[in-house]
Amino acid sequence: MATKLWQKNTVPTDEIERFTIGRDRELDIYLAQSDVLGSLAHTQMLQTIGLLSADELTAVHRELRNILQDIHKGKFSIEEGVEDVHSEVELLLTRRLGDIGKKIHSGRSRNDQVLLDLKLWTRRQLREVVELVKTLFDELLRQSEAHKDVLLPGYTHLQVAMPSSFGLWFGAYAESLADDMLFLQAAYRLVNRNPLGSAAGYGSSFPLDRQMTTDLLGFDSMDYNVVYAQMGRGKMERNVSFALASVAGTIAKLAFDACLFNSQNFAFVKLPDECTTGSSIMPHKKNPDVFELTRAKCNKLQALPQQVTLIMNNLPSGYFRDLQILKEVFLPAFDELKDCLRMTSYMISRIRVNEHILDDSRYDLMFSVEEVNRMAANGTPFRDAYRQVGLDIEAGRFTPVKEVHHTHPGSIGNLCNDRIADLMNHLLEGFPFERVEEAERRMAGEETLPCCEG
């Protein structure tokens, strides 16, 4: 059994070790690249305050970058008996460099290491989520423009209500994603602050240059107060989870609409055949399984903020082992949301719309408001026009004019898609992705780094 970083004379039993380590060895693989990047910055700072010599720093950086290459190649693992990624990296350095490897932990704790790892990893994951949201956004706007003149019924209370259009339907979900991007941007800003140097939550007697590591890793600022830096564990995951849940809520609603509209009773759209499955006994069935699974996965993701809150909500300041469990619900959530975004983009790009929905007389009455408004525009008081059209409907005399002339902003004839696109592009400009990527590349000593881990 490998010696623990904290171990002295007491040796835990196998059962206690299994319970306390939990899934850390499995989940910490997500954080391996981030852990090495953090160690590269931390050790560079240690050399400037005299805790590593120039030669020692050169050796440490050489081996850390070798470990980083192993991670990129899928050759890195956390050995049996080693608690976590921090321990594995330090163990590898000590094997290769002897006592030099034992120096890299000076001025930090596993508490601020995991805080840093989570922030570095999460900001990279958020970048990929942002890019996938933008891909889906672009596809929705493309479909909105392509089908802006195709009318379909709008519903309230699941009753046929007023004319809508595929331009409005696709565009509505695009604008929803733009609002979701506000949450993602806020989450990114919260994440992009440096906790390194807070150690176990009370700082260090070493004269740590926290601004240096902040700059080296491309953070906007540090988490200044060391106690607050530790209090950020859980708060960061919760607030990021709210951003993920906001995106998931948009996709879940879109998936429900698509499943409903794809059914024979509606027949508004046809989903790609490859995204449907058949029945074991009914040869005619084409079930919208991909969107149904997307809806379920996204509904599950909307519970993530509550899961995080319930794990960490009743903890006082300081570190507690409870926080370890956050990884189990938080880290895998990104892969699930990214899968849903990719699948939704795929299906929206290949969805086919029915351009003859209104040939069916069951939708005639949705033009009643148009007739009321036409009469009101010609001088009939609105309430009188409303009553007259209502009486005509009851008497079976109503004959619809299946034309709409909506021109105000955001309506069928004036979708404002250009403004929605401007809103999204303005939000995207608020993410410092290029600056952060350049900082990570410099730290790793490489021209490029994989976009995301895990």
What are the residue boundaries of the structural domains of the chain, listed by start?
A: 14-103, 110-152+166-208+221-358+421-433, 360-415
The pLDDT of residue 449 is 58
Nearest alpha-carbon partner for 256 in 180, 323, 158, 333? 158
Strand partners, 155: 160
Q: What's 110-152+166-208+221-358+421-433's CATH class?
A: mainly alpha
The answer to whether 289 and 275 have CB atoms below 8 angstroms apart is yes
- Determine the 3-state secondary structure of 335 from DSSP: helix
pLDDT at 273: 87
pLDDT along the chain (454 residues), means of 10: 52 66 80 97 98 97 96 93 91 96 95 96 98 98 98 96 97 98 98 97 96 98 96 95 98 97 95 82 84 96 96 88 91 97 97 96 95 96 97 96 94 97 97 97 77 48
- What's residue 6's pLDDT? 44
Output the pTM of the full model: 0.92
Rounded to the nearest angstrom, the gap between the alpha carbon of residue 154 and the centroid of all alpha carbons in its chain is 30
**What is the rounded distance in angstroms from the CA atom of residue 377 to the CA atom of residue 412?**
19
CB 226 within 8 A of CB 452: no
Half-sphere exposure of 219 (CA within 13 A, CB side): 28
Question: Which residue in 174, 199, 122, 144 sits closest to 436, CA to CA?
Answer: 122
CA distance 238 to 254: 24
Domain 14-103 has CATH 1.10.275.10: yes
Residue 15 pLDDT: 73
pLDDT of residue 11: 61
The pairing of strands 151-156 and 269-270 is: unpaired
